Amino acid sequence: MARKTSITGFLSDVTDNVKDLVDDVIDRGRDLEKDTRNSVSDAVSEDRDEDKKA
């Protein structure tokens, strides 16, 4: 097995860190979308419940 040079090792580490960052951003984006959808659903549902009471 060939040893990594310091440059290729560095670039490999940077690539791995970027992949981890992108994965985290995607996960947070999914969480944000889910929470936003739930909040909007709850708000609309509350409005509909208030309209039915009136």
Mean pLDDT of 10-31: 97
More confident residue, 3 or 43: 43
Longest dimension (CA), the chain: 76
Residues 4 and 12 sit within 8 Å (Cβ to Cβ):
yes
51 to each of 10, 24, 43, 45, 47, how far by Cα in Å? 61, 40, 12, 10, 6
| Residue 29, both tokens | 């984006």
Mean pLDDT of 23-27: 98
Give pTM, 2 decimals.
Answer: 0.65
Instruction: Report whether pLDDT(2) > 60.
Output: no
Alpha carbon distance 26, 16 (integer Å): 15
State how far Cα 32 lies from the chain centre: 7
The per-residue pLDDT for 1 is: 47
